[in-house]
Structure 1
Amino acid sequence: MSAHDKVAILMVDDRPENLMALEAVLDSEQYLLIGVRSGEEALKKVLLYDFAVILLDVQMPGLNGFETAEIIKQRKSSSHIPIIFITALSKANEHVSTGYLTGAIDYIFKPFNPIILRSKVDAFAQIHRKQKEIEQQNSHLEKTSIELQEKHNNLENLINEKTKELVQANEELQVSQERFQKIFQHSPNLMAIRSLVDQRYVDVNQSWLQFSGYEYKELATLGNDVLRIHSNSVVIHSPKGQPEDLQNGVYNKEITYVTKQGEKREGLLSTETATIDGEPCIISTITDITEIVDLEREVTRLDRLNLVGEMAAGIAHEIRNPMTTVLGFLQLAKNQSQHPQPEEYINLMIDELHRANGIITEFLTLAKDKANNRKKKDLNEVVTTLHPLLRAEALMNNKVVILDLKQCPMLFLDEKEIRQLILNIGLNGLEAMESGGRLTLKTYTRDDYVILEIADTGPGIKKEVLENIGTPFFTTKDEGTGLGLAICYSIASRHFANIDIKTSGNGTSFIISFQQNTVENHQVTNRLS
């Protein structure tokens, strides 16, 4: 087919990729596809060709689609050319209404359906051919009219089918919105929708009103942070002045919030962004866990009472023995007042009293409310200071102490307590090893933690011992009090550190993890409190 016999179709879009997409859909030997990238170029092409249809993009620099269509329709030579606007779905209503005012015969939404586009263009092409045949063959006017009517009916049927598809899609969207409303309103969690533009409350559900104590009619007058949501965890980088429930990407973050009556409650906060009626919003969900937290606190209190009872029994047992010895000798001295007691008896009583006092002193070291004496210290410096003492103890039993210290940030430490922790664990490690054993003290950083690792090459810790390790008065030593590791756990707790134990037949490692920022923030908190 020669170029003269082909049906001319004009495609106008300022984006080359869109022109390529249109050309790919409409590619045919029957069509002469002419693509231009501006309204000005389109007007020039209209003067040169008799187009069957013009596919016109609405938004273009320079002359936009509306202005270009209006000029084409004003010209007598081109006023008959059908124009199909190609418009974005989000601007459909505006474009459609404006398009009919400027003479557009139809419109297609981006991203367009290739089948619908091809069908519409084919229909207009057929109409164009028939119009040409009418001009050339007046004798076939009736037949051409019938064919045009059939094509028109087919086009109308196609439009009706697509309209039904749009109606069905709208109905499905409506069902989806109804489901969201049911989930939103009937959720047992506190749910709120807030605008990211001005932080106002767009909507809240019944649980939010029930827990917070506010009424729905008060929603419009509520402040930006009416619940006074506060994070329970340490936040290093938090947007200043922005409420917690407007921070995107939060999942089950522990928070507290305050009701209208001033009651402070616990919750888990999760947030997700969404666009509602064209406005960016955040959907926040708070799972109220106040009753669960209260129950956990009560269980913890009962556990502590039980532990106090066990510790009291242990202290009574440990102190009764030296006290019985001292009491016996004092009664003997009372009955023999005429004869002075031998010096070894006096020394024995003094040793027993020292033993009882030592047990009480170690027990008091477990207290959590000790005076805060933490200062910014270099952990490596503390370890280095203790190295000669541990090395001397090791040399007496043909063992070695190795230091492997990496550069670490400064921490807020109570040097006396950290020395005690290192000595307790280090000496335990030396005692656990046979001659030739090796004790290694390492420091290094991992993520946001400073790690102190004390490792020995002993036989490891048995499972039944590992389960009770750190329990006050539990010991495997003949002369031990069972308070050494309990004190270490207490010291670690006061420094907001964790103690992990890795053990095997090749040795045991005590890994003490100090969180850098948490330690510093708690230090500041303790100074203020």
Structure 2
Amino acid sequence: MARRAKEPKSIELLVVDDRHENLVAIESILASNDYKLVCVTSGAEALRRLLERDFAVILIDVVMPEMDGFELATLIKQRERSRHTPIIFLTASDQAVSYRGYSVGAVDYLLKPLDPDILRAKVAIFVELFRKDLRILEQAAELRRAQQREREHEVAALRMASETRYRNLAEAIPQIVWTADPDGNIGYFNHRWYDYTGDLREPASGAWRTCIDREDLASFAQAWRKGIEQSQVFELEFKLRRRDNHLGWHLCRAVPEYDPSSRKLVGWLGTFTDCDALKRAAETAKSAVRARDEFLSIASHELRTPLTTLGLRLDGLEKELRASGAMGSASRVEHKMSSALRQTGRLVTLVDSLLNVSRITGGRLVLQPQVFDMIEAIRDVIDRIAELATGAGVTVSLDAAGPIVGRWDRLRVEQIVDNLLVNAIKYASHAPVEVTVAARKESIEIAIQDHGPGIPDSEQERIFGPFERAVSSRNYGGLGLGLFIARQNALAHGGSLRLANAEPGAKFVVELPWPRPTA
């Protein structure tokens, strides 16, 4: 029953009767400082008053125009707020009200003319019940308030314990830990900040920013504002001034903290992690890689010139010996000359590979597209390696429906196919190698399948790196650059090189865009 929890000084009673003289009589009988009578002359007016307030008891005359007492009582009982308010009917005949009155929810009825003592006694009973209900409601509200205060105290204690635990954890870890409000204003640093920077000023003053390197301050502030505005996890790197003025690299990582119920941003939790040693080691490694690439470039160029000269000299010497008749079919000179030419060719290939790597890593790989037939170019490569394949007991077959004419860099395309075929012959000797070329609508696909030992799943991506191989260099020669150069050449064309599933052996698939020649 919804009533006012605070007990009023005087209890309100509602009296409904269409005759003014009856209302005056009831007011005279119930005149008391304990009661406040609200008298109305119609059912409609009674319903309006019930919308405004609650009453301890309602006295209703049964016979009224427009809306009689039974109809009014029915409407009162249909309303949730007043359905439990006691109703006493006033009637001149008990036969008219006895059964129907109780059926519509009345608790009693009184016969007219009214007996003052009986009216006062019955009203007093219901008023006292009303007062008790109010006291019960007040006690229940006070109990709820006490429970709420107790819960608030428990939550505060838990929050304090949680904050203490968090502070202890923050003080125990080696990183600089901080917290900030939703606008990114830092209000707390753990002891690691003061140990590292020696800055004892209050974080809330914003003076901590003076510990950031001046060169990084503008970019740091911009990245910080952007991260705060997006309300998402963000990271940024900067140099932080140590107490001895050394500038050390740190990684800032900030995580937004949301209220679990409203999902409203309430603050930020963050760390500054010292990554100076790692950063400087990475810079040293990059410098070493640049120095290595520069050395490879210079060394390759310096080696390429004398090797080219040596190859030309050997070719010329071979021709002179043949012309003089000094090279017979069983001549030791011919054997040594052939060996010298093969080794020179091998050195040229290795130097060319190093040159290609230096161009690729230095971003100097430039394509020179020309119109040619892809099938013809692949046949040329197969013909060039025929002697190598025969020596390894390998037969190379080509399955292609040509011609396929387009614009590519022929040298780089042939290098892709050559590297893949040489790998297949090297690692899958005494087994067939199949080359398949298929034309798509906008691309072509070249697949090279061998029947060797295959490549483990764990190695299938690593082998495309520079100086990488699937097996030990003790078993197979080479620099481990063939697949790296082949993939980079494919990528330079806007294509790809991947290792497809194949049983047995390995299957490398090259996909290249197919730019048609312009008229």
TM-score with structure 2 setting the length: 0.46
Larger-gyration structure (1/2): 2
